[in-house]
Amino acid sequence: MKVEYSYYADSPSLVIKAADFLKAMKDREELFLLEVAVDGFAAKFDVVGHYSDEVNEEIRKWLDKSGNVIYIIKERWAGRTLLSSWCEVYVQNGTRLIEVVISDNGRDFSLRKREESDNE
């Protein structure tokens, strides 16, 4: 399992290539390493990483073979004071960025399901 730590839109992020993510979905040991990477990244920022079978399945449905899975730390500031931080999950296929797990306030999260979007 290979992951990359970077900044996306000036926010700390964990990036996983589609090939590695999809491989992990089929291999128990790789899936464990994926869980460690996501949970460790989230723990560093004291946020929920959204690692679950339900979220992983939705990511898999959105992900193209050449895409990326991006876990991004979002923050809300008041001046120099950090009010809250949380993790959101995106799939990037080429230039298209798909919101999979998002929040407006860091407390309530929405999971974007592929079936719902196919009917739009």
In the chain, domain spans: 4-118
Sign of the alpha-carbon torsion through 58, 64, 68, 74: negative
Task: State the CB neighbour count (10 A cutoff) for residue 16.
Answer: 23
67-118 per-position pLDDT tens digit = 999 999 999 999 999 999 999 999 999 999 999 999 988 889 999 998 755 5
Say whether pTM exceeds 0.95. Answer: no
Is residue 119 very low, low, confident or very high in pLDDT (cuts 50, 70, 90)? very low
Pairwise CA distance, residues 108 & 110, whole Å: 7
Query: Could you write out the three-class secondary structure of 6-33?
Result: EEECCEEEEEEEHHHHHHHHHCHHHHHH
Q: Position of tokens 């560093």?
A: 44
